[in-house]
Structure 1
Amino acid sequence: MDLKADFKKKRKDLKLSQAALGKRMGRDRNHVSNIERGLTRLSAEDYLFLDKLYKERFPATVSAEM
């Protein structure tokens, strides 16, 4: 399953509106407070999805951190 299809399925599973999704993903990355505010409302399943997404998008960063 490609990343976009996985993302759409996850969004549908969580029944998120577009606005709520933008907040949760920290769409405005220049405002750290928005990201922090969004992260306080994430479920464990959301964290796992974001972790997977990050590892797929930035594999070099993940391997450098370990």
Structure 2
Amino acid sequence: MKSKSIERAVGLGVEIATAFAVPILVGYWVQNRWGGDPWGVITGALLGIIFFLRIGLRLSREEKRSNN
């Protein structure tokens, strides 16, 4: 049981880190490729926040389902 919760926590940590890092890195790449300082990174950060909020909403729904 304990390893299952650790596995879930690690998976969630990786998912959250990926939700932030990938859009920011893509925004950084776009910014360096085509210019537009600092809009590439800002757009990537905003997308990362949106992805993070979606993860939070999904977790909230899962928690509600498990409590019912």
Same fold (TM over 0.5): no
Structure number with greater Rg is 2
TM-score (norm 1): 0.31
Structure with greater contact order relative to length (CA < 8 Å, sep ≥ 6): 2
- Structure 1 or 2: larger helix share? 2
